[in-house]
A and B are shown apart, each in its own frame.
Chain A
Amino acid sequence: MALSGLDIYKLLPKTNCRQCGLATCLAFAMQLAKKALPIEKCPFVSAEAKDILEAQALPPIKPVILGTNEFRFELGNETVMFRHEEKFRNPTGVGFIIDDSLTDDEIILRLEKINQLKFERVGQLLAVNLVALKQNADGARFLQAAAILLKHTALPLMLISNDPAVLKQAAYLLKDRKPLLYSANRQNLKSLGELAKELDLPLVVSGQNIDQVSQLTQELNACGVKDLILDTGIKPLADKIWDLTQIRRQALKKLNRSLGYPVLAIVDQADPYQEAMEAAAYISKYAGIVLIKGLEAWEALSILTLRQNIYTDPQKPLQIDPKLYAIGTVNPSSPVLVTTNFSLSYYTVLGEVESSKVPAYILSVDTQGMSVLTAWAAEKFNAEAITKALTVSGVKETVGHKNLVIPGYVAMISGDLEDQSGFKIVVGPKEAAGLPAFLKNLH
């Protein structure tokens, strides 16, 4: 909860000295609450008050960065409970647990599969984020396996071990990659806290419940360990969703700093469908990192697509550049299809045109990211807008015919559009799925 002007006023000297440029301390407090002036404008403010106000300005959920290279990613820094309130900012990091009890070859094979889990959807690259090595065998094996990770993947790394001494050796081995350490608990708090500080590494804090985790983060914070990630353990789905929701509420609604960190959720299901469902549940409900084991491409794609949906900015639909796109080996007699610049519309049409193998032009009209019917209703995909796009995009100079295919859902604008643009309008199918058959029969 943000401090009000009156709350801030109570922290000020209340002398109305006017050094800040305002007539009264109360007026200054109001400006501070609006973040319109910095606290430094007051020369007499106490150090304590300054600390409180500065802490107040920090984000309620601390941003933490994992990794060092081009694959590094930020988590945390979220500001809302529901995506419609603003948006969810930092997409959940999706990571994979690898057991060190596997053979070298098996580990390498898994890493190669993980490295290839990349998909392009609606113009965005969907990729996985993290590899976590879990100790099951002796310490020497853990270090061997860690060395394999170092060599065979560029993704951010995480180390999971119950033995602080082994964890320390592995952390030193990977220190340039800034691995995430798993995990500090009541017993090893001191040694892991020191290790994290020594190497400046992010650290997972584990407890069985919110209270335990909150207690541990306060102690670690007091020792100067700042980059923390919370974990309340593996538990039934409903309990886990409750923990995730409660931690988010504590951070946002109560500004509870001891729980103002990203949260990690480990999925422990052998069946890939069950694993996907649970991972998806945590992505929707606030997890900063989700760890799974399954490496099937179909499972990863469905999980990453859900993440893409949930983390799309609701105020700004995914859009593409509104212009004329040439698909395949086009020539001046290739057909021209018109659609919106809403990514989903464009890429759906694109996919069908490609699969039809008929070279064609797609004219993407600037509808500010609205879909066909929404844009038509908002008069951004009507005869005027399309006529303008035909001119601006250079269609007339590019093709040698005057035929234009419009989506079946806006068949009603045919007459107007024909009059205004001078093009002959051909009404296409309502659904993009009908395009291959339609294009093949066009001539």
Chain B
Amino acid sequence: METQLVLEKWPGSISVVTIGAKTAEGGSRSQTVQIGGQTALPLMFKEGVMPNRPKIAFEIWDIAPVDFEQELMTAYGRAINDPFTWAQVCVDEFKADLICLKMQGTHPDFGDRSPQEAAKFVSKFLNQIKVPLIITGSGDNAKDNLVLPACSEAAKGERCLIGSAVQDNYKTLVASVLADGHSIIAESPIDINIAKQLNILISDMGLSLERIVIDPTIGALGYGLEYAYSIMERARLAALSGDKTLACPFICFVGQEAWRVKEAKADGRQGIAWETLTATSLIQSGADILVMRHPKAAENVLWYTDGLFRGQ
């Protein structure tokens, strides 16, 4: 007797966010990247469409990295000392879909570059590196409020993804992103209610929900991974059930979390495995963009998504 399958049909879907604009669209990117658009739970290919596979964004800094593990420094070699060469290697050798540019050099403790310098840097970067761009601040709220608007303006029309907006500091960034035609990263501290609330606040300012990507805040494997994993599953269930305020794609900052932990620092291969499994596990709970550091870990994750999406 044939087993009658239990099939789930969902009324909702995840919104599609496009990153990057080509010349015809007013930008200068060589390609655009789309994420989201799912109409079923992660990897349930038989129950809906998954038009866009998860994408890997390589994390690049605007300065030579200060606290990277030796394993990471070795993986990139001398290229890592110059952001432009570093990014070019990621594009040419490691086939990066996206670059995530972290403006670490604007942080008061890491060089304190001015917003004008940051804007100049972004312009030059866009000139030299042609893949779609994610731009993030240095994590210093006060400084980011000055730096990110300048970067946003310098990248006007390039349809970047810029972050991060947080619950008590989102207005400045939303206004810039809105004016310059970008999308925004909305960061919430492993809390589905705050994620929802922040999305509502941002869309109330006129930036549509279709231009928001959620950063649920993740922990690395062994360091709270399961909290983000479950928050993402819950948010997806709500979104597919019809809650539009949670129906945004997810971005997960995998590299920075994975390489902070003891197990990753202890052994090169273990570090790569740590970053790899952190990423693949979050893909299972719905990650759309994985911001990664180690090229071998990125290669692993690419193998994983290629296998999953083969024939889809």
Contact = CB atoms under 8 A, between A and B. Distances in A.
A280 B277 contact: yes
A344 B280 contact: no
A237 B307 contact: yes
B262 interface: yes
A273 B43 contact: no
A284 interface: yes
B300 A211 contact: no
A308 B222 contact: yes
Contact of A83 (B230, B272, B303): B230
Interface stretch (B23-31, B105-113, B165-173, B263-271): B263-271
Contact of B277 (A236, A237, A302): A302
Contacts of B3: 210-211, 214, 250, 256, 258-259
User: Mostly helix, strand, loop or mixed at chain B's interface?
Assistant: helix
A379 interface: no
A7 interface: no
A280 B274 contact: no
Contact of A301 (B263, B272, B308): B263
A296 B270 CA distance: 10
Interface stretch (A9-17, A60-68, A163-171, A241-249): A241-249
Contacts of B71: none
B221 A306 contact: yes
Nearest to A247: B3
Given A84-B233, A281-B284, A211 B2 contact: yes
Contacts of A254: 4, 6
Given A84-B233, A241-B43, A302-B221, A312 B269 contact: no
A212 B223 CA distance: 41
B221 A277 contact: no
Interface in B257-312: 260, 262-263, 267, 269-270, 272-274, 276-277, 280-281, 284-285, 296, 300, 303-304, 307-312
Contacts of B300: 273-274, 277
A237 B301 CA distance: 13
A171 to B, nearest CB: 30
Nearest to A299: B273
B187 to A, nearest CB: 15
B281 A280 contact: yes
A236 B44 contact: no
* Range for the number of chain B residues in contact with chain A: 35 or more
A308 B263 CA distance: 15
Interface string A348-385: 10010000000000000000000000000000000000
B216 to A, nearest CB: 13
A424 interface: no
Interface in B1-34: 1-6
B270 A302 contact: yes
B78 interface: no
B225 interface: yes
A238 B43 CA distance: 7
B307 A280 contact: no
A323 interface: no
A249 B269 CA distance: 36
A344 B267 CA distance: 21
B51 interface: no
B56 to A, nearest CB: 14
B45 interface: yes
A433 interface: yes
Nearest to A209: B3
B237 interface: yes
Contact of B229 (A214, A308, A309): A309
7 contacts: A83-B229, A121-B222, A236-B310, A238-B307, A241-B43, A242-B45, A273-B296
Interface of B: 1-6, 43-46, 221-226, 229-230, 233-234, 237, 260, 262-263, 267, 269-270, 272-274, 276-277, 280-281, 284-285, 296, 300, 303-304, 307-312
Given A246-B5, A280-B280, A348-B262, 7 more contacts: A122-B222, A214-B1, A238-B43, A241-B43, A249-B6, A273-B300, A276-B273
